[in-house]
Structure 1
Amino acid sequence: MNQFGLCFNSSNYIFLQTQNGLTPLAKVARVHYVKCLNNPIRREVPSSYTNAIVKKETVKKTGKKEHHLWMKKDSVGSGQKALNLVRIVSELPNEKEAVYAALDKWTAWEAEFPLVAAAKALRILQKRNQWLRVIQVGKWLLSKGQGLTMGTYDTLLLAFDVDQRIDEAESLWNMIVHMHTRSVSKRLFSRMITLYDHHSMPAKIIEVFADMEELGVKPGEDTTRRVAHAFPKLGDEGKQKLVLKKYLNKWKYIHFNGERVKVRREAWVE
């Protein structure tokens, strides 16, 4: 096998060492001492060569500038728009035509539908317990094909419950189940069961619970208790025990001597 190496002499010439001898390559201005590749003696290396190595090691890689295919919409000002919407609808008479006309005017000069502002307005109206306005704004959103989210549905169902609009709640619920069958959240199932429980409709509670089981949605503790209490009202106490045994957690947390303690549920009288 051929042996090659870089060597330097006192006259600062660089040579390529092979089996056939030394071949001069170039002259350098300044050298440092290193070992030759095939000869363990001290040899000279040009400073430009070592400087290049140092510079290469110390160069920091600059990160690539990221380019996104999407741009986050600027929601600055949506809070003010929401407050403006709340002010507008709060000053209107309780007439659907007047409310819808004002809402259409509110969006007339918007380049894009102000969905974020409308959602914030719904939350503000809910906190202020202005349930009629929640219903009006929510139904207007749905009529525009906007706000078709579980959050909007939940707010509307709650408003229908408080305002005792059971028929409208059922119509909305049927629409939700038809459109989102496999993606209806546990929260919405619980909301509908709570609504029926508030208005003493045990048969409807069992219907919604049957849909939950069919879709594999596990009820929470509060929903489980409401369903369990509905069965005796329908004369079926046996299923009440089955539901509690299947879905009620065997463990619960209680506060004892100032501490949160985990205990078996059967050991305590409910």
Structure 2
Amino acid sequence: MWRSAMITKLVRQISPLGTIRVQAVRHSHRAFVQDQKPIQRNVDPTGENHYLGEPVSKRHIGENVSRRDKVNFLVKILTDLDDSKESVYNALDAWVAWEQDFPIGPLKHALIGLEKEHQWHRIIHVIKWMLSKGQGTTLGTYGQLIRALDMDHRIEEAHEVWVKKLSVDLHSVPWQLCHQMISVYYRNKMFERVVKLFKGLEAYDRKPRDKKIVKKVGDAYEILGMIEEKERLLEKYKSLSNEPSSPKKSTRTSKKR
């Protein structure tokens, strides 16, 4: 079972209030699972519980619950909690303790649900909890964390995540994440960082794939008074401005005609 002695120790050490909250979440989870499917229970003379005539261990508690129901249940728990790191961490520890394997899939679907609700602060807590467990350490997770920090107006923390986790491999970070970070700097008027990041990408001979990137970097050069650099940039990547419209737009135009 995935539940380790570390989680058990954590649950025992939390404050009385946190203990009550975790027990409440566990009770709700158990009741939620039992409500999903009626279970025939027999009592063996030896005292061992049987479900449908077969002994069932504790790890089977959540096996009859669909992924969608688990995700919806978790999103409801997280949405109803007070806005504190301890409450979120305790609830997640209690929720994941019933799983045999770490439920990275349901957690990512829960994050998507929280994004739809614009629960940026809660998303940050969930992702940091995942990372503290050594789970979800992917480029996509860090990109999602940077987006949540930016939307939560915590730009310096977003910058710190970029510097420590992504920019160390600037030669291989996907352009999508690079564009995301350039946009974060540009939107927060950090034009020096826009220029520095773009020059770092150029140092690895990485060329932008979108004219929007060129425009943002060009604007940053102009605001910083680096007119010659802007002209050099526009001349170097002028082919991007002359690119035809995307196939999707062409198709839509043809259909309209």
Into which bin does the TM-score normalised by the smaller protein fall?
0.5 to 0.7
Residues 198 and 212 of structure 1: is their aligned pair in 2 closer, same or farther, counting only changes over 3 Å?
same
User: Who is 1:252 aligned against?
Assistant: 243
User: Who is 1:232 aligned against?
Assistant: 222
User: Who is 2:160 aligned against?
Assistant: 171
Return 226-235 or 129-138, whichever deviates more: 129-138
Supply the distance in 2 between the matched residues of 1:147 and 1:221 (Cα, whole angstroms): 32
The letter for the 2-side match of 1:227 is V
The one-character-per-residue Cα deviations of 1:155-203 (angstroms, maximum 9, x if unpaired) are 1111111111011101110122366444311111111111111111100
Secondary structure, aligned partner of 1:252 = coil
Query: Which of the two has greater helix per residue?
Result: 2
Cα contact 2:71–2:107 (8 A) shared by 1: yes
State the Cα distance separating 1:259 from its structure 2 match.
Answer: 4.6
Secondary structure, aligned partner of 1:113 = coil
Q: 1:114 aligns with which of 82, 103, 106?
A: 103
Supply the distance in 1 between the matched residues of 2:136 and 2:98 (Cα, whole angstroms): 19
Query: Which of the two has greater strand per residue?
Result: 1
Supply the distance in 2 between the matched residues of 1:215 and 1:145 (Cα, whole angstroms): 30
Secondary structure, aligned partner of 2:243 = strand
The one-character-per-residue Cα deviations of 1:142-163 (angstroms, maximum 9, x if unpaired) are 1111111222122111111111
User: Who is 1:9 aligned against?
Assistant: none
The letter for the 2-side match of 1:95 is S
Question: What fraction of aligned residue pairs are identical, expressed as a percent?
Answer: 36
Give the structure with higher Rg (CA).
1
Cα contact 1:186–1:218 (8 A) shared by 2: no
Residues 118 and 180 of structure 1: is their aligned pair in 2 closer, same or farther, counting only changes over 3 Å?
farther
Q: 1:91 aligns with which of 71, 80, 99?
A: 80
The letter for the 2-side match of 1:242 is R
Secondary structure, aligned partner of 1:183 = coil
The letter for the 2-side match of 1:224 is V
User: Who is 2:128 aligned against?
Assistant: 139
Cα contact 2:139–2:166 (8 A) shared by 1: no
1:213 maps to 2:202: yes
Cα contact 1:176–1:184 (8 A) shared by 2: no
Residues 244 and 81 of structure 1: is their aligned pair in 2 closer, same or farther, counting only changes over 3 Å?
farther
1:1-270 superposed matches below 5 A: 77-177=66-166, 180-219=169-208, 220-248=210-238, 249-253=240-244, 259=253
The letter for the 2-side match of 1:252 is E
Cα contact 1:212–1:218 (8 A) shared by 2: yes
Secondary structure, aligned partner of 2:225 = coil
The one-character-per-residue Cα deviations of 1:233-256 (angstroms, maximum 9, x if unpaired) are 111011112112223414234689
- So what's the TM-score if we normalise by structure 2? 0.66
Count of residues in Structure 1 that have an aligned counterpart in Structure 2 = 185
Cα contact 1:81–1:117 (8 A) shared by 2: yes
Residues 78 and 175 of structure 1: is their aligned pair in 2 closer, same or farther, counting only changes over 3 Å?
farther
What root-mean-square deviation, in Å, do the aligned CA atoms of Structure 1 and Structure 2 show?
2.4
The letter for the 1-side match of 2:227 is E
User: Who is 1:65 aligned against?
Assistant: none
Supply the distance in 2 between the matched residues of 1:118 and 1:149 (Cα, whole angstroms): 14
Q: Following superposition, which runs of at least 4 residues in structure 1 exceed 6 angstroms of deviation?
A: none
Supply the distance in 1 between the matched residues of 2:174 and 2:156 (Cα, whole angstroms): 21
